Chains A and B, each alone.
Chain A
Amino acid sequence: MSIKKPIWQQPWGYAESFIISFGVLCIGFGLELVLPVNQSTLIFPFNLILGASFIILLVLAHVLFRKTKIHAFLSGIPLTISLVSVLSFMVIIMGVLPQIPSHQNGFVQQLGLNRMTSSYPFLLINLFLLIVLGLVSLRKTFPFKLKNWGFVCSHWGLWLVIFTGGLGSGDLRRLRMDIYENKTEWRAYDDNGRYFEMPLAIKLKDFLIDEFNPKLAIVENETGELCEAQKPSMIMIEKDLNCRLQDWQVQVEEFYMTSGRAGDRYYPLSDFGAAPAAKVRVVSPQNDTLQGWISCGSFNRPHESLKLNEAFSLVMTVPEPKRFSSEVTFFTPEGKKQDATLEVNKSVTVNGWKVYQLSYDEKKGPYSDKSILEVVRDPWQPYVYLGIFMMMIGAIYMFWKGRESIND
């Protein structure tokens, strides 16, 4: 056991690190109370200038002070651990409290705990972390030793991700576009409903949606809530399905994906708004047989359920989408024309903007003539990707080498 070193005597260790990190956290919360709400959206070229100055200062500090105790402390593990602990503490708060804007003005809102990522303490700790991570990476990189390559990759990778991700967030544009069948749209709107003209126009030729079959479910008559006495509580309807749902034996006698009611039954139909319907025969635990039609309805047709007894009814759920896509044509100001299919998980890049299929008119479901797209421009993306790939290489290195690097 070593003799206990008085606090604030060099070299600084864990106690000093934790006090300093905690101090920075308190300063951050203090700023949050005093200063107006931080609306930091550093945009080009200010973020680039700030970032470049930061790098120059960091390198200068490294070159000038590399032999000092303060450099050793700033690039040391105790400070790293304390900063990561404080960061974890803040992220835990984020993980517990919903991160949504609120009009209340309580303790949580004043300290910015409901918008942690844009609060001063979060920014300060991340900045501090960038300095520490930057200094330790510089120290390990110059002079470069081949055995350190895994370390260099993972640490610089993480540094790049935090640095470029943070600085680039101001330049990231995420807008939405509502496009309607056979119409051309060139305006996009942001979260506050402000419209912007885009350097491209999109014409929706066709919106297609593929659905899963609806499911059978039993709900409580009074509350309308799903009865989940046993699993599975919902069963997908198929032709000639004969299954046990909770205490009832259900047989599907007829099923149409699109149908309409006429008189006492449903007929297959492909009208605008035609809804799925099924004829079912249900045998209760008391051996009573019930028969009837159920339908989940659509935006212009009523739904229909089958009352099983005083407490429960059999219903058909609204079909879930299997895939949806938009057949579109892009037009650019240069006069270029490009046909494409937009689908969830399959974006298309046009004129520096990435276009994603986001949603549609969910009320109308398969009859939607509106497609909602997200358009994203993120000029910093390649640098963040570089960081991510460096971290991946670092992770693979770590997997390969295991704990060899620890010497005890």
Chain B
Amino acid sequence: MIWSNFIFVLLSSSLLWFLALIFYKKELLKRLFIVLGTVCIGAFIAFLWVKLERPPLRTLGETRLWYAFFLPAIGMITYFRWRYNWMLFYSLGLSLVFLVINYIHPENFSKTLMPALQSPWFVPHVVVYIFAYAFLAASSLVAVRGLYQHYSQTLDRKIVRMADNLVYLGFAFLSLGLLFGALWAKEAWGHYWTWDPKETWALITWLGYLIYIHRRYHMPAKLQSSLWILALAFVILLICWFGVNYLPSAQFSVHTYSQTP
């Protein structure tokens, strides 16, 4: 079975990243180990793609895998830009959490893909969302750290700038994901927006970050409230991503793709 090989990915990535942590003062070794650990996940995604004969972007488990891949990638980008070691290892840790969840609860990896999803819009729609989620997750980590610093009176302004930048990038991707989805829906089903529960929660997420951006723009000196808005926005994002399936409204969603025999 395809999924049974996953344990090797989990083990090798954790081992490589653990080595990176040990050698965190040796720049070259650290970077090498992190890149290799990420490549392992990337290779598994490629392997899945070939084996399933479709992009592995459909089930929750598959998107978690992409998330586990993009988190370290974005962690590295932010590291190269700002040199925050903690950010790098936070993202690796978070990525490992997703890998472990996938190991404990592998999804039903079937080859079938319903005709509605067989569209050139499918991959950009989901990939752009995954980018957005990864950036926004990183920004919320920064927010939590910022709040900690705020309450321990050691707040560094740089950290809020970094949160802002991550939110700007994440929000740009989130908007693109939303708009791609609207165009796809119009082309495939005849309407942009049907207030499907997933769409509704995606809009709430978008509005949450919209509030943060405007608040920061308006009151750049008031950091505490902005940081709290950012932390809350991530809670909404998590509901949108995982929680929607458990809400009373979800029984009418086209985004759950639950399978019944």
Query: Whole-angstrom distance between the alpha carbons of A94 and B249 in the complex?
Result: 8
Query: Whole-angstrom distance between the alpha carbons of A378 and B190 in the complex?
Result: 9
Nearest CB of B to A300, in Å: 21
A98-B172 in contact (CB<8A): no
Question: For residue B187, which residues in chain A have a CB less than 8 angstroms away from its CB?
Answer: 345, 347
In the complex, the number of residue pairs spanning A and B with C-beta atoms less than 8 Å apart equals 166
B171-A78 in contact (CB<8A): no
Question: For residue B115, which residues in chain A have a CB less than 8 angstroms away from its CB?
Answer: 321-324, 343-345
Q: Tell me if B108 counts as interface (CB < 8 A to partner A).
A: yes
A405-B217 in contact (CB<8A): yes
Q: Tell me if B260 counts as interface (CB < 8 A to partner A).
A: yes
Please, how many residues of chain B have a CB less than 8 angstroms from a CB on the other chain? 64
Question: For residue B244, which residues in chain A have a CB less than 8 angstroms away from its CB?
Answer: 95
A84-B210 in contact (CB<8A): yes
Within 8 A of B (CB), among A240-273: 243-244
Query: Whole-angstrom distance between the alpha carbons of A381 and B201 in the complex?
Result: 24
Question: For residue B214, which residues in chain A have a CB less than 8 angstroms away from its CB?
Answer: 77, 80-81, 84
A98-B248 in contact (CB<8A): yes
Contact A117-B261, Cβ < 8 Å, known A345-B115, A403-B168: no
Task: Tell me if A's interface is mostly helix, strand, loop or mixed.
Answer: mixed
B248-A78 in contact (CB<8A): no
Contact A95-B204, Cβ < 8 Å, known A85-B211, A376-B190: yes
Residue of A nearest to B160 (CB): A408
Which of A81, A94, A318, A320 meets B211, CB within 8 Å?
Answer: A81
Contact A95-B217, Cβ < 8 Å, known A212-B112, A374-B190, A402-B165: no
Residue of A nearest to B250 (CB): A98
A95-B200 in contact (CB<8A): yes
Query: Whole-angstrom distance between the alpha carbons of A244 and B4 in the complex?
Result: 12
A392-B197 in contact (CB<8A): no
Which of A80, A92, A99, A398 meets B171, CB within 8 Å?
Answer: A398
| Chain A positions near chain B (C-beta within 8 angstroms) | 77-78, 80-81, 84-85, 87-88, 91-92, 94-100, 117, 165, 172, 174, 212, 215, 217, 219, 226, 231-234, 236, 243-244, 315, 317-318, 320-324, 343-345, 347, 354, 356, 374, 376, 378, 381, 384-385, 388, 391-392, 394-396, 398-399, 401-403, 405-408
- Lowest 9 A-B CB distances belong to which pairs? A408-B220, A399-B172, A403-B164, A77-B218, A376-B190, A344-B115, A395-B175, A95-B200, A345-B119
Given A378-B190, A392-B175, 6 further pairs, Cβ under 8 A:
A84-B207, A95-B244, A215-B261, A233-B108, A344-B188, A395-B175
| Chain B positions near chain A (C-beta within 8 angstroms) | 1, 3, 105-112, 114-116, 118-119, 157, 161, 164-165, 167-169, 171-173, 175-176, 179, 182-183, 186-193, 195, 197, 200-201, 203-204, 207-208, 210-211, 214-218, 220-221, 244, 247-249, 251-252, 259-261
